[in-house]
Amino acid sequence: MNIIVCIKQVPDTSEVRINPETNTLIREGVPSIVNPFDMYAIEEGLRIKEMIGGKVTAISMGPPQALEALKEAFSLGVDEVILISDRAFAGSDTLATSYTLSKAIEKIGLFDIILCGKQAIDGDTAQVGPELAEHLGIPFVTSVKKIDEIREGYLRVHRMMEDGYDVIETRPPALLTVVKEINEPRPPSLKRKIQAKNLQVPVWRKEDLDVDEKRLGLKGSPTQVLRIFPPEIKGERKILEGNLEEQIYKLVSELKGLGIL
Amino acid sequence: MIRIKREICTGCEICISSCPYGAIEMVEDRAFITEMCNLCRACLSACPVGAIIETEESRLPTTDSRLMDFSGVWVFAEQRRGKLHDVSLELLGEGRRLANILSTELSAVLIGSNIEKEAKTLIAYGADKVFVADDPSLSDFHDDSYGHILAGLIEKEKPEIILSGATSIGRSFIPKVAARLRTGLTADCTRLGLDGKILHQIRPAFGGNIMAVVICPNRRPQIATVRPRVFKKPIPEKGRKGKVIKVHVPEDISLRTKTLEFVKDLTSTVNISEADVIIAGGRGLGDAKNFRLLEELAEALGGAIGASRAAVDAGWISYPHQIGQTGMTVSPRLYIACGISGAVQHLVGMQSSDIIVAINKDPDAPIFKVATYSIVGDALEVIPLLVKKIKEVRG
Ligand SMILES: Cc1cc2nc3c(=O)[nH]c(=O)nc-3n(C[C@H](O)[C@H](O)[C@H](O)COP(=O)(O)OP(=O)(O)OC[C@H]3O[C@@H](n4cnc5c(N)ncnc54)[C@H](O)[C@@H]3O)c2cc1C
Ligand SMILES: Nc1ncnc2c1ncn2[C@@H]1O[C@H](COP(=O)(O)O)[C@@H](O)[C@H]1O
């Protein structure tokens, strides 16, 4: 099986904050990481390969620094990595990103399974996977928590829903977006980590892809961020006085007063 | 493109920390924008002297006469196994508000099998028109069939705005529809507004640490998914008049996926994305059987059970209950965190809850920073007391 894993390098969002006075982001020293959901996608790709054979290719679209994410994927065991990077791709929203990725995947050619994370933690959109599948004209299943069976021409997965899961059958080539429950990612191997250091990561630029320029980057992005602002701080902090029992009594009466009880 | 006017830049470096992508560097004592730039515009307002500008050449013209052909507000009326999802009714309330401002019609799109009777409900909740695609082949949700029908209808009827719930179903097939129509989609909105005919789609980003206003000025329709429970269900008006339009369901929609069965998660009586009250437990509960205590509290309050990742990883409760960066994002009216330290990865999934109660032994636990009510104490002692008091008050 030829497996392609799409990974994104993201700022560790838990550390991004907004300065309420200037409405600008405070990013001091926020590290870049591989999007956590994509780590599960990488692991699942490796497991499929180990089970039935094949090749795993990790691709990422982003600025030159994104090659760090690809090196991390390599140290985990993927066979090949490709960076898709060009100034013309800057400012891409999910539509332009998925279009560009689809063109890179068409260039790779043969594939059976594409794995994406359920969502990227910077934008949390969960749109790139399904949009990518649509551009490629292949079926997809989102929020996959288990690959039940996979073989040549057959795929059965569990799709997580709010109140349970659907068991779904499809045929490769197909795209899956995965959630955390699907596996437990392995640690990188030391040997591959060392190899990754000196790895020459191929970079595909605009000219390397058969793309319509109007559909790239900012020009090809129908959505725009108009402005950003800090979230409202909800409710004030209330002090509960007295011993434990009194505090609990106070809490319950407050909740009652708020109409929750 | 974002550019720095070198002749204006004073080299104060304020912009550097404003960039979430680390794309600004100092070159010869002046700020310089590197390839890391994502054109997010965060730096524009940071510069005290206005040296950072956005050059417009890369943007499309904003007045495209074809945009005028689009009118009407639509709500995708989600149902599962014949039952309408509450978020669809909530969206009819918001859709009505937008349609009134735009002086246009509000329509609902209902797709499924044996569901035509629900059209009346949608009209009572505010729809002027209901498009119904009712066919046995549509009983299970499939991205292919639902996407094909919705995209086809949109191409024919040209609505200007489409709203859908940010549910498993909405977040799965709406992106497919948006890609097919080559238009924009904004996920997980928590507020909507209008500036003329432009929909302001307000949503959290960066794990809820930042809010962003997103627009789709040059393409139609403008599509947004909205989280459940963001808007209030309107009061239905019995006997309200509306039109039901049957949609032809083609026989040859290629279905590349097949649903074999649905397996209900027995541990969740109420799912956390829609619950008004969530009782969440963490590693501090010590073991799986103490989660029973949470269930008692959840029962007393009519709530659902959530958990931190530590509790899920320990195998005390299943993953669908996990709240946080790699789990679900929730914003109930009341969130009670029991034995949860409040790691940022957990906070980003629940900090927008209306009221947060934290119960933790450690007075310095970070969870207390976001808590409305703080109780420093042993959860195993506090929870039973709380259950008892609630029962007393309820009588
Ligand atoms: C990439 C990534 C993604 C992550 N995603 C998530 C996510 O989605 N959701 C998530 O929750 N975490 C996530 N985490 C993990 C997160 O960093 C924390 O490790 C986790 O939230 C801790 O869970 P906890 O608060 O239950 O456990 P701990 O941090 O161990 O806290 C237990 C708390 O219980 C208190 N306590 C102990 N005994 C008692 C008692 N008897 N009564 C009252 N209080 C008691 C302690 O004082 C302590 O504060 C993620 C981490 C990473 C790296
Ligand atoms: N720039 C990118 N390069 C490669 N994969 C991406 C990129 N952006 C998104 N993805 C993939 O799409 C998934 C969903 O991202 P998003 O739609 O941004 O939430 C991620 O988990 C990745 O697997």
Say if ligand 1 is within 6 A of residue B346 CB.
yes
- Based on the number of CB atoms within 10 Å of its own CB, is B81 exposed (0-12), middle (13-18) or buried (19 or more)? exposed
Residue nearest to ligand 1 atom 46, measured at CA: B284
Q: What interface predicted TM-score (ipTM) does this complex get?
A: 0.89
Q: Please check whether residue B143 touches A, CB under 8 A.
A: yes
- CB contact at 8 A, B363 and B376: yes
CB B44 within 8 A of CB B52: yes
For chain B, what are the domain ranges?
A: 2-58, 65-246, 277-394
Cβ–Cβ gap A15/B344 under 8 Å:
yes
pLDDT for A12 equals: 79
From B219, B256, B259, residue closest to A166, measured CB to CB: B259
Does residue B281 line the site of ligand 1, with CB under 6 A?
no
Which helix (H) or strand (E) element contains residue B260?
A: strand B257-264
Find all residues with CB under 8 Å of A252, minimum gap 6, and list them: A261, B386, B389, B390, B393
Nearest-Cα distance to chain A for B132, in Å, is 24
Give the residues across from A25 on adjacent strands.
A18
Model confidence at B101: pLDDT above 60: yes
- Of the options 3.40.50.2300, 3.10.620.30, 3.40.50.1000, 3.40.50.1220, the CATH number for the domain spanning B277-394: 3.40.50.1220
Q: What is the mean pLDDT of residues B12-29?
A: 84
What's the rounded Cα separation, in Å, for the pair B273 and B353? 12
SS3 A256: helix
CB atoms within 10 A of CB A70: 25
Ligand nearest to the CA of B291: 1
Which mutation among B285, B289, B293, B308 tests ligand 1's pocket best, with the greatest number of atoms within 8 A of CB?
B308
**Using one digit for the tens of pLDDT, what is the confidence trace for B301-312?**
989 999 999 999
Give residue B62's pLDDT.
46
pLDDT tier for residue B394 given thresholds of 50, 70 and 90? confident
Candidate of B309, B364, B368 to mutate for ligand 1, largest count of ligand atoms within 8 Å of Cβ: B309
> What architecture is domain B2-58?
2-Layer Sandwich (3.30)
For residue B340, what are its two tokens?
């949860």
> What gap in Å lies between CA A137 and CA B139, rounded to an integer?
23
Distance B73 CA to ligand 2 centre (A): 29
pLDDT at B43 over 60: yes
- The residue contributing the CA closest to ligand 2 atom 8 is A8
For ligand 1, the distance from its centroid to the CA atom of residue B340, given in whole angstroms, is 5
Chain A residue closest in CA terms to B370 = A237
Q: Which residues of B touch A9 (CB under 8 A)?
A: none
- Over residues A111-135, mean pLDDT: 94
Chain A residues near residue B58 by CB distance under 8 angstroms:
91, 217-219
What's the pLDDT at B59?
Answer: 46
pLDDT at residue B374, rounded to an integer: 95
Give the gap in angstroms from C-alpha B389 to the nearest C-alpha of chain A: 7
Residues B167-189 have a mean pLDDT of 96
Q: Is B267 on the interface with A (CB under 8 A)?
A: no
**Nearest Cα residue in chain B from A15:** B344
Q: Residue B390's pLDDT is what?
A: 94
Alpha helices per DSSP H over chain B? 14-18, 86-102, 118-124, 143-157, 168-181, 291-301, 309-313, 344-347, 367-370, 379-394
> To test ligand 2's pocket by mutation, which of A128, A143, A204 has the most ligand atoms within 8 angstroms of CB?
A128
CA distance A38 to A41: 5
- Residues B41, B45: Cα–Cα separation, whole Å: 8
Residue B148 has pLDDT above 50, yes or no: yes
Please tell me the distance between residue A56's alpha carbon and the centre of ligand 2 in angstroms. Answer: 17
**What residues of chain B lie within 8 A of the CB of A235, using their CB?**
354-355, 372
Of A14, A18, A125, the CB nearest to B187: A125
* Pocket of ligand 1 contains residue B375 by CB under 6 Å: no
Q: What is the pLDDT of residue A141?
A: 98
Centre of ligand 2 to C-alpha B322, Å, is 22
Mutation target to probe the B interface, by most B beta carbons within 10 A, among A61, A65, A103, A260 is A260
Confidence (pTM): 0.86
Best residue for ligand 1 mutational test, from B345, B350, B376, B386 (most atoms within 8 Å of Cβ): B345
Task: List, in sequence order, every residue forming a beta bridge with A159; answer none if it has no partner.
Answer: A144, A166
> Treating both helix axes as pointing N-terminal to C-terminal, what angle do B168-181 and A128-136 enclose, rounded to 10 degrees?
50
Confidence of residue B57 (pLDDT cuts 50, 70, 90): very low
Please tell me if residue B206 touches chain A, with a CB cutoff of 8 Å. yes
Measured distance CA(B318)–CA(B306) in Å, rounded: 10
Structure tokens at A80: 């090949």
User: Residue B214 and residue B198: Cα distance in Å, rounded?
Assistant: 10
Q: Quickly tell me which residue has 């004073």 as its tokens.
A: B10
**What is the average pLDDT value for chain B, to the nearest integer?**
90
Instruction: Please indicate whether residue A130, judged by its CB atom, sits closer than 6 Å to ligand 2.
Output: no
Question: Is B388's pLDDT higher than 90?
Answer: yes
**The two three-digit tokens of residue B234, written as one number:** 């309107």
Query: Contacts of residue A22 in chain B, CB cutoff 8 Å?
Result: 18, 45-46
For residues B93-111, average pLDDT = 97
Instruction: Write the pLDDT tens digit of every residue in B333-381.
Output: 999 999 999 988 898 889 888 899 999 999 999 999 899 999 999 999 9
- The dihedral built from the CA positions of residue B144, B149, B153 and B155, taken in this order, carries a sign that is positive
Question: Which of A51-65, A120-134, B14-28, B68-82 shows the lowest per-residue confidence on average (mean pLDDT)?
Answer: B14-28
Confidence check: pLDDT of A130 > 80: yes
Q: Which residues of A touch B83 (CB under 8 A)?
A: none
Q: Do B184 and A240 touch (CB under 8 A)?
A: no
Kindly report, residue by residue over A162-171, the tens digit of the pLDDT: 889 999 999 9
In this prediction, residue B217 carries a pLDDT of: 92
Give me the pLDDT at residue B27, please: 87
Residue B363 CB neighbour total at 10 angstroms: 9
Nearest to A13 among B319, B348, B393 (CB): B348
Please indicate whether residue B253, judged by its CB atom, sits closer than 6 Å to ligand 1. no
**Answer CATH for B65-246 from 3.40.50.720, 3.40.50.300, 3.40.50.620, 3.40.50.2300:** 3.40.50.620
| Ligand 1 centroid – CA B310 distance (Å) | 5
CB-ligand 2 contact for A132 (6 Å cutoff): no
Residue A237 to residue B19, Cβ atoms within 8 A = no
> Which residue's CA is minimally distant from atom 9 of ligand 1?
B324
Instruction: Say if residue B60's pLDDT is above 60.
Output: no
> What is the reported pLDDT for B367?
94
Instruction: Judge if the beta carbon of residue A84 lies within 6 A of ligand 2.
Output: no
Matching fold, domains B65-246 and B277-394: yes
Which is more confident, B325 or B235? B235
- Segment B190-225, tens digit of pLDDT: 899 999 999 999 998 877 777 889 999 999 999 999
Cβ–Cβ contact B314 with A under 8 A: no
pLDDT band at A32, cuts 50/70/90?
confident
Do residues B327 and B319 lie in contact, with contact meaning Cβ atoms separated by under 8 Å? Answer: yes
Q: Which domains does chain A have, with CATH numbers?
A: 2-215 (3.40.50.620)
Nearest to B363 by CA among B354, B376, B382: B376
Reported confidence tier of residue A195, pLDDT bands at 50, 70, 90: very high
- Closest ligand to the CA of A8: 2
